[in-house]
Amino acid sequence: MTGTDTGTQAPPEAPSLGRKVGSAARWSLVNTVVMRLGNFVTGIILARFFLGPEAWGVYGIAQTVLLVLLSANELGVSLAIVRWEGDPRRFAPTVLTLSASSSCLLYAVLFTAAPAVARVLGSPEASGILRVMCVCVVLDGLSQVPAGFLTREFAQGRRMAIDAVNFVLSTGVTLLLAVEGWGAMSFAWGSVAGNAAALVGCCLAAPGTLRFGWDREQARSLLRFGLPLAGASMLALGVVNVDTMVVGSALDQLALGFYVLAFNISGWPVRIISEAARRVSFAGFSRLADSPGALAGGFGRALGVVMTGTVPLCVLLAALAAPIVGLVYGDRWLPAAAALPWLMALGLVRIGCELAYDCLVAIGRRRSLIGVQGLWLVILIPVLVVGAGAGGIVGVAQGHVLVAGAVVVPVFLYALHRGGVALRTVARACAWPFLGGAAMAAVVLGMERLLGDGVLALLATAAAGSVCYALCILPSLGFLRGSPPAGATAAAGG
């Protein structure tokens, strides 16, 4: 290709990428919101009518082990489908072989060790559930390549259809078995059914990608690329889930059930906003990785959008924790509300850290990620153990926030700064949402004292707080849209 050809073809590239990212982000957000609302309703039905706190605790232990295994079951090599230049079909068969082999090996180890793992985590009865639920590790390993192609192509519309089938099947199986009295095991078989449907859907949406092959040189390159990411990802999931392990081993099943419910509620905004963003953020940051200025600007706007959408949800759930838990799940779940405000603060930190994680991966700062996540986990474990002994589930939640705010956020900011994202970029992205959140919290708490916690009163309080928040963030809309500052426009015109 000649220099002239490059010059004539370059201009359409950016608008095309922008349209792809924008469309994918919209589809991803709709997908995540719809799926999470469905899971939310399902959780309410199960908690109110079929499963008590003890069953939730057993499920929480199994889910924790599953998430940790999923963080590294494909050795990190599947991200090459999204990140590497060139035709991914050239190395995809080797990726699939590595992913499937490591997933099967990991499941075999877990199947053998399940009784010992369940005992160590304080839930011996979770052994059988672990063996069933972690079949999802193998299914996930097989689906990584076709799912990677969908992410690379920003095909979130097709991804939404796949997730819808997954949700319908997994929810239907879970509810049917719960009605029949299967308890926490209903979650396990529901997860397996949904993941099997997702695997089939990914293969149909990305035909020809489920093909095994082997190239020794490709495998070496993939492992050099993927293993640091798998290690960082496993550490990240360990950070998020070690609290469940601490509560399960240090407290009783009842406390574990309350904590799992509170943590799941605190994850609503994380899953709705952050998960939607992360499905396109890594691919988008990867395309900007060679342009430090564009990357910093893109990260700042992405962080601003994510924080703007998340802060009001976190404020409402933190300020109205007890009334919301009592209204939605019933009075027997009220002990969970005590930990919820602290976990909402943690959720807000997690959202920012996850976006920073994707940015650092995209620019190749894998060693920085391992250092950050390792430091977080090493400091967190003793703090959570002390917190559990001193304050139960509330002490665990407080310990989480203490470590995240005092240690992890400054370290992530330093890593971003070294990667070309200045502190002022992060501050600008967060300033207006945080100001609006503070004003919203004051309005919500004041109105709750004035109106009480009835259904209509809660709706009025939430509406007034949301209006206050919207007014506070109006000055930031230009930044979120990517519009240049007025001064910069004038200077350009001059």
0.75 exceeded by pTM: no
Residue 264: pLDDT band (50, 70, 90) is confident
Vertex 433 angle, CA 430 and 439, to 5°: 135
pLDDT in tens, 9-56: 444 444 455 555 555 555 555 656 666 666 777 777 887 777 778 787
Contacts of 432 (CB under 8 A, 6+ apart): 304, 308, 472, 473, 475, 476
The pLDDT of residue 301 is 81
Most confidently predicted of 70-79, 355-364, 457-466: 457-466
Residue 232 clears pLDDT 80, i.e. is over it: no
In this structure, how many other beta carbons lie within 10 angstroms of the beta carbon of residue 307? Answer: 27
Q: How far apart are CA 243 and CA 401, in angstroms?
A: 12
Residue 424 clears pLDDT 80, i.e. is over it: yes
Task: Note the maximum CA span of the chain.
Answer: 74
How far, CA to CA in Å, does 458 sit from each of 278, 316, 453, 455? Answer: 32, 10, 6, 5
* Encoded amino acid at 63, one letter: Q
Q: Which two tokens stand for residue 431?
A: 């300033």
The pLDDT of residue 210 is 86
Q: How far apart are CA 274 and CA 286, in angstroms?
A: 18
The pLDDT of residue 493 is 41
pLDDT in tens, 142-193: 988 888 888 777 666 777 788 888 888 988 998 899 888 888 888 889 989 9
Q: How far apart are CA 465 and CA 24, in angstroms?
A: 30
> What percentage of the chain reaches a pLDDT higher than 70?
82
pLDDT in tens, 336-394: 999 999 999 998 888 888 888 777 777 766 666 777 778 888 999 999 999 999 999 99
3-state secondary structure of 166: helix
* Encoded amino acid at 375, one letter: L
384 burial level (CB within 10 Å; 0-12, 13-18, 19+): buried
Q: Which two tokens stand for residue 177?
A: 């078995």
329 within 8 A of 48, measured Cβ to Cβ: yes
Q: How far apart are CA 276 and CA 157, in angstroms?
A: 12
pLDDT in tens, 287-329: 665 666 777 777 888 888 888 888 998 999 999 999 989 888 8
In this structure, how many other beta carbons lie within 10 angstroms of the beta carbon of residue 37? Answer: 12
The pLDDT of residue 435 is 94
The pLDDT of residue 275 is 64
For 49, half-sphere exposure in the C-beta direction (CA atoms, 13 angstrom radius) is 11
pLDDT in tens, 237-263: 777 778 888 888 888 878 888 998 898
The pLDDT of residue 32 is 60
Q: How far apart are CA 256 and CA 243, in angstroms?
A: 10
Query: Which string of b and e fits 431-458 if b means at least 16 CB within 10 Å?
Result: bbbebbbebbbebbbebbeeeeeeeeeb
